[in-house]
Chain A
């Protein structure tokens, strides 16, 4: 069986010089087993273009999510978009990109630059089929993507970057394609590639973009799994079964809590080595246990991790942090799919009335972390033992 895929998305844009609103719109939606990206360039610039483009991406996204055929999407757009007073047409371009987690890609373009498809780092030609819907000529393509492939869609502002200035004819599709081949690799994020393309365009425009410029990037990569165990099962007899299942899941293994780490150490017949150098005033040190990727203390670390996740969205923001809570937050931000094993056994020490109340809030913090991660588009499963 091939490994499960994940579709990572990124997007960036710059406005035409002097405009506050971007006349392009990019939307990304997670749908059952995949991602849907829609890029639209509205007629003109400024507020009017912005409204046209936003309407286009919203309508297209909603209809596609409900599985409506392309004809209906295009007809709805034609009927709904307001007419431009000057030009007497209702017009905006679009690119629809639907990528399923099994690698199936569906692409439909109307008047946008062709989408860049990179296979194993090299530009690969998409076989388009033209289709007439109403008076509009739409280009469609079906292709199969694998881990390591990229799909990049841009508005024409990107293609024209530098036109009449630094470059006579603008940046040009072929040159961008070559440039992309030097930029996409395993460790770079979709967001980073989108940002690089937009930054590059801005430079070619010498800081004064002649058109709204938008980039949408989809990176197809192996799905990242993590399993997180916190708290011992209520029934001691369940320990072995729970630990075995936990260790057999794919991906990173993370354990929080001294007793829980102890159960794993016993099962693995290894010792937990505490790394005192990771200790801070607020957060107890982390530990090392062969067979497990990260060991931290329980309740204080998890409470602190929740605080971090409420503020931080990007893994890169935590680079260089070595305390348990930051490391735990990194694991959560890095993973696409997280299995949480929440043990509800009660530690008698935590019932001590002299201890602060938050000692009892471990479950609540774990649930809150799960809610945040779900909101950020991650798969989260909680098992309570």
Chain B
């Protein structure tokens, strides 16, 4: 089971974590990976200035746009399936 954890703290929320979560929801569904990838939220990850922050399993990533999120999803989830 892979886990994507997106920060929903104040700063990350402003930097689009809401849209990023919605993107991941859709992407997981479209790839038919509901049983393999879990999507979670978390409050502050203590990297507020870099946000929006997210973890793929235990690795920290920063996504400042949906494009970043798409790239992370491609590289970390799809290609490492």
User: Which A residues fall within an 8 A CB radius of B?
Assistant: 257-259, 261-262, 272, 274-276, 279, 281, 284-285, 287, 295, 297-300, 347-350, 352, 355-356, 359
B9-A284 in contact (CB<8A): yes
Taking CB atoms, residues of chain B closer than 8 Å to A259 are: 9, 43-44, 46
Q: Which of B13, B14, B40, B49 has a CB less than 8 Å from the CB of A276?
A: B40
Once the chains are docked, how many angstroms separate the CA of A359 from the CA of B48? 13
* B71 located at the interface, meaning its Cβ lies under 8 Å from any Cβ of chain A in the complex: no
Q: Which residues of B contact A295 (CB under 8 A)?
A: 43
Tally B residues with Cβ within 8 Å of A.
20
Known contacts A279-B18, A281-B18; A274/B41 CB under 8 A: yes
Q: CB of B42 within 8 A of chain A?
A: yes
Complex Cα–Cα for A259 and B14 (A): 16
Contact B13 A284 (CB under 8 A): yes
B40-57 vs A, Cβ < 8 Å mask (1 yes, 0 no): 111110101101000000
B35 vs chain A, min Cβ distance (A) = 18
Nearest Cβ distance between residue A62 and chain B, in whole angstroms? Answer: 47
Given A285-B8, A297-B8, the answer on whether A348 and B18 have CB atoms closer than 8 Å is: no
Number of A-B contacts (CB under 8 A): 79
Closest 6 CB pairs of A and B: A349-B48, A258-B44, A258-B43, A274-B41, A258-B9, A349-B11
Tell me, yes or no, whether B21 is within 8 Å of chain A by CB. yes
Minimum C-beta distance from A225 to chain B (A): 25
Q: Are A279 and B10 in contact (CB under 8 A)?
A: no
Instruction: For the A-B complex with A276-B21, A287-B41, A298-B10 known, give 4 more contacts whose Cβ atoms are closer than 8 Å.
Output: A274-B41, A284-B18, A300-B10, A355-B11
Q: Are B21 and A347 in contact (CB under 8 A)?
A: no
Main SS of chain B's interface residues?
Answer: mixed
Contacts of B13 in A (CB 8 A): 284, 297, 300
Q: Across the two chains, which residue of chain B brings its CB closest to A303?
A: B10
Is B3 engaged at the interface, CB distance under 8 Å to the other chain?
no
Residue in A272, A274, A348 whose beta carbon sits within 8 Å of that of B49 in the complex: A348
Known: A276-B21, A284-B17. Contact between A350 and B41, CB under 8 A?
A: no
How many Å from the CB of B34 to the closest CB on chain A? 14
Residues of chain B whose beta carbon lies under 8 Å from any beta carbon of chain A = 7-11, 13-14, 17-18, 21, 39-44, 46, 48-49, 51
Query: CB-CB < 8 A to B14: which residues of A?
Result: 300, 355-356, 359
A37 CB to nearest chain B CB (Å): 44
CA A353 – CA B14 in complex, angstroms? 13
Tell me, in angstroms, the Cα distance from A259 to B9 when the chains sit together.
Answer: 8
> Are A279 and B51 interface neighbours, CB within 8 A?
no
Q: How far is the CA of A300 from the CA of B10 in the complex (A)?
A: 7
Judging by beta carbons under 8 Å apart, are A349 and B43 in contact? no
A289 CB to closest chain B CB, in angstroms? 10
| Cα distance, A85 to B43, chains bound together (Å) | 72
Least Cβ–Cβ distance between A98 and chain B, in angstroms? 47
A279 and B42 form a contact (CB under 8 A): no
Given contacts A258-B10, A349-B49, contact A276 B41 (CB under 8 A): yes
B45 nearest in chain A by CB position? A258
CA distance A129 to B58 in the complex (A): 76
Q: Are A279 and B48 in contact (CB under 8 A)?
A: no
**A274, B10: Cβ atoms under 8 Å?**
no
A284 engages B10 (CB within 8 Å): yes
**B48 in contact with A348 (CB, 8 Å):** yes
- The contact of A347 among B17, B39, B42, B48, by CB within 8 Å, is B48
13 sample A-B contacts, Cβ–Cβ < 8 Å, listed by A number: A259-B9, A259-B44, A262-B44, A276-B21, A276-B39, A284-B17, A287-B41, A287-B43, A297-B8, A347-B48, A349-B48, A352-B49, A359-B10
CB distance from A277 to the nearest CB of B (A): 10
Given the interface pairs A262-B43, A274-B42, A279-B41, the reply to whether A284 lies near B8 with Cβ below 8 Å is yes
